[in-house]
Amino acid sequence: MITNQQSKETNLLIPLSQYIRSGRSPINLRWAIQVHGSQMEDFGAIIRYGNRWLVSENELFDWLRHQARENHD
């Protein structure tokens, strides 16, 4: 069982450019931010820090699942 502390430790914020280079994103994040940026921010998938975007991978995947459910209904 994952504790709340372990969950926080595994949910790091990664700079957008670094996350894109990692190849772990299943979508074009720059496009998604242009189209759905405010919704992604509200969901916690991305965070604006100054002029940089930070990605929360766990919330990003949760947001994608949420989008899939909304578009499926």
Residue 2 lies in a domain: no
* Distance separating alpha carbons of residues 49 and 23, to the nearest angstrom: 22
Q: What is the DSSP string of 16-37?
A: HHHHHHHT--SS-HHHHHHHHH
Structural domain count, the chain: 1
Name the helix (H) or strand (E) containing 28.
Answer: none
Residue 64 lies in a domain: yes
Residue 3 lies in a domain: no
For 68, the domain range is 13-72
| pLDDT tens digit sequence for 39-63 | 999 999 999 999 999 999 999 999 9
| pLDDT tens digit sequence for 4-52 | 554 555 679 999 999 999 999 999 999 999 999 999 999 999 999 999 9
Residue 5 lies in a domain: no
Residue 7 lies in a domain: no
